[in-house]
Amino acid sequence: CSASTDKPVLTLFTKKPCPLCDEAKEVLEPYKRKFILQEVDITLPENSAWYDKYKYDIPVFHLNGKFLMKHRVDIQEFEDQLRKLELQSE
């Protein structure tokens, strides 16, 4: 089954501290086996482009490199997008 290796990548643009990011990760906890979480600290020098773009908007989520949502997790939207990706990979 190739589906297990082809998990979508959910990128979280964050910085420390970020209570909203922590909250968002808690909301996503039940889904964590369905995706790979990649965190990008926008305060690191190599991420300055993301900092300029998202400094007032974190947390920001991209799914497989595409913008998905910001500020809060929209579970319905997240589930819909995951389902679409699962259907595409079948």
Q: What's the pLDDT band for 82 if we cut at 50, 70, 90? A: very high
Closest CA to 80 of 65, 90, 69: 69
3-state DSSP call for residue 16?
coil
CA distance 12 to 71: 11
Residue 72 is classified by DSSP as S
- Quote the pLDDT of residue 48: 97
**pLDDT mean over 20-40:** 96
Residue corresponding to tokens 């964590």: 32
- pTM of the full predicted structure? 0.90
CA distances for 78 relative to 1, 46, 84, angstroms: 23, 28, 10
Question: Do residues 36 and 61 lie in contact, with contact meaning Cβ atoms separated by under 8 Å?
Answer: no
In this structure, is residue 2 part of a structural domain?
A: no
- Quote the pLDDT of residue 3: 47
Domains in the chain: how many in total? 1
Q: What is the CATH number of the domain that holds 49?
A: 3.40.30.10
- Quote the pLDDT of residue 6: 82
Domain that holds residue 60: 9-72
In this structure, is residue 37 part of a structural domain?
A: yes
